[in-house]
């Protein structure tokens, strides 16, 4: 597989941290040009601290650029109930590394424009940075290969009955991105509710003596303390789905569909209205919406990669 240039735009976030580790386990497939942060699961200060904290924990040097501190229009509401007050289930990362830039939008522009090959962006938080990027610097659009987005849903939400958190958090930004005609792969809740680990898997991680797996076990264990985990037997790791698609697209079924983001107030805020009618044929200019995943293979590959990373970072 040809190495793909990627930038991960995230709001760490428990599942964001696991997704980042999964990406680090696949560096033979990726040139990771940077990580940008965006306010979402927690404040921009906390999610950026968690991104630099992970780099400090691994003693790894990937450029981190701090992004936008609030949605384009709406009030900011962190997801403390799911990710904890510090955003990573109270896990304490060391803090030896600093951010590279305090402006994710110019960092994205400069990095994308300087890259010889096109760049794939992996947004796994609210789409605020991305919306500002394409509106402020539309010249980047020609150099974006793909957006592999974790966000939205074709059939019901998590933060409300109709909306997924990342899109709900900044629906106006999501609308700009989904309307951009950029090439999009959407990992929505309709698949990410099946991309994760069982309680027993997390128990194994917790008992591990490996640096990465133990840390992942500790942060994922926090998910089971909330009431959003179905019967306490399985936890989705939503954001890893957007990375997994890039490495193992064969695990998924997809259909191209029109996706329109509802920016109204009330119960429909942030709903991604996806045209699931299978007798309508949308061409490849419409988002590629993932509709099914091989759940057990996803789980096996994710675990295998996390344990593999233990061999790299001691
Ligand atoms: C998404 O919302 C966040 O809480 C997670 O990190 C993920 O990106 C799932 O709805
Ligand atoms: Ca996230």
Ligand 1 atom index nearest CA of 13? 6
Q: Could you say which of 11, 16, 262, 310 is catalytic?
A: 11
Instruction: Give how far the C-alpha of residue 129 lies from the chain's centroid of Cα atoms, to the nearest Å.
Output: 13
Q: In 66-137, which ranges are E strands?
A: 119-123
Per-residue pLDDT of the chain (314 residues; tens, 9 = 90+): 789 999 999 999 999 999 999 999 999 999 999 999 999 999 999 999 999 999 999 999 999 999 999 999 999 988 888 999 999 999 999 999 999 999 999 999 999 999 999 999 999 999 999 999 999 999 999 999 999 999 999 999 999 999 999 999 999 999 999 999 999 999 999 999 999 999 999 999 999 999 999 999 999 999 998 777 767 899 999 999 999 999 999 999 999 999 999 999 999 999 999 999 999 999 999 999 999 999 999 999 999 999 999 999 98
Burial of residue 294, with CB atoms counted within 10 A of its CB: 0-12 exposed, 13-18 middle, 19 or more buried: middle
Look at the block and give the residue holding tokens 């966000």.
Answer: 151
Q: How many CB atoms lie within 10 A of CB 257?
A: 22
Mutation choice for ligand 1 from 20, 71, 79, 88, CB with most ligand atoms inside 8 A: 79
Give the span between the Cα atoms of 261 and 48, in whole angstroms: 27
Rounded to the nearest angstrom, the distance between the alpha carbon of 249 and the centre of ligand 2 is 20
pLDDT of residue 43: 97
Quickly count helices (H) and strands (E) in the chain.
12, 12
Domain ranges in the chain are 4-312
Atom number, ligand 1, closest to the C-alpha of residue 164: 10
| Separation of CA 47 and ligand 2 centre (Å) | 10
Nearest CA-CA partner of 147 in 171, 170, 118: 118
How much distance in Å is there from the Cα of 126 to the middle of ligand 1? 9
To the question of pTM greater than 0.85 for the whole model, the response is yes
Asked whether 151 lines ligand 1 (CB < 6 A), one says no
> 241 — alpha (psi -120 to 50), left (phi > 0) or beta?
alpha
Tell me how far the alpha carbon of residue 165 lies from the centroid of ligand 1, in angstroms: 6
Q: Is the CB of 170 under 6 A from ligand 1?
A: no
Which one of 155, 156, 165, 192 would you pick to mutate in the ligand 1 pocket, going by the greatest count of ligand atoms within 8 A of its CB?
A: 165
172's tokens: 């106006």
Active site residue 11: yes
Q: Which residues contact 201 (CB under 8 A, 6 or more apart)?
A: 299, 303
Question: Is residue 107 within 8 Å of residue 77, measured between CB atoms?
Answer: no
Q: What is the pLDDT of residue 87?
A: 97
Instruction: Reply yes or no on domain 4-312 having CATH 3.40.630.30.
Output: no
Residue linked to tokens 């974790």: 150
């Amino acid at each position: 597989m040809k190495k793909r240039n990627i930038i991960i735009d995230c709001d760490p976030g428990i599942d964001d941290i696991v997704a980042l580790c999964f990406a680090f386990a696949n560096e033979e497939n990726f040139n990771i040009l940077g990580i940008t942060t965006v306010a979402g699961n927690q404040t921009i200060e906390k999610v950026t601290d968690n991104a630099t904290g992970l780099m400090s924990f691994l003693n790894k040097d990937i450029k981190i650029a701090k992004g936008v501190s609030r949605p384009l229009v709406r009030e900011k509401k962190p997801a403390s109930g799911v990710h904890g007050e510090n955003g990573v289930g109270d896990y304490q990362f060391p803090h030896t590394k600093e951010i590279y830039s305090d402006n994710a939008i110019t960092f994205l522009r400069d990095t994308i424009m300087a890259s010889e090959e096109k760049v794939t962006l992996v947004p796994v938080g609210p789409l605020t940075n991305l919306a500002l990027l394409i509106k402020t610097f539309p010249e980047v659009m020609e150099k974006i290969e793909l957006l592999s987005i974790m966000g939205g849903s074709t059939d019901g939400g998590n933060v409300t009955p109709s909306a997924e958190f990342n899109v709900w958090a900044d629906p106006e930004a999501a609308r700009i991105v989904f309307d951009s005609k950029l090439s999009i792969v959407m990992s929505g809740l309709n698949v990410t509710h099946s991309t994760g680990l069982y309680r027993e898997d997390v128990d194994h991680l917790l008992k591990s003596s490996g640096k990465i797996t133990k840390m992942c076990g500790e942060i994922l264990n926090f998910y089971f303390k909330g009431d959003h985990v179905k019967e306490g037997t399985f936890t989705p790791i939503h954001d890893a789905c957007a990375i997994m698609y890039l490495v193992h697209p064969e695990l998924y079924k997809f259909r191209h569909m029109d996706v329109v983001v509802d920016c109204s107030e009330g119960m429909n805020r942030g709903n991604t209205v996806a045209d699931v009618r299978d007798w309508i044929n949308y061409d490849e200019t419409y988002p590629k919406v993932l509709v099914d995943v091989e759940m057990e293979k996803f789980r096996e590959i994710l675990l295998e990669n996390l344990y593999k990373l233990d061999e790299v970072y001691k």
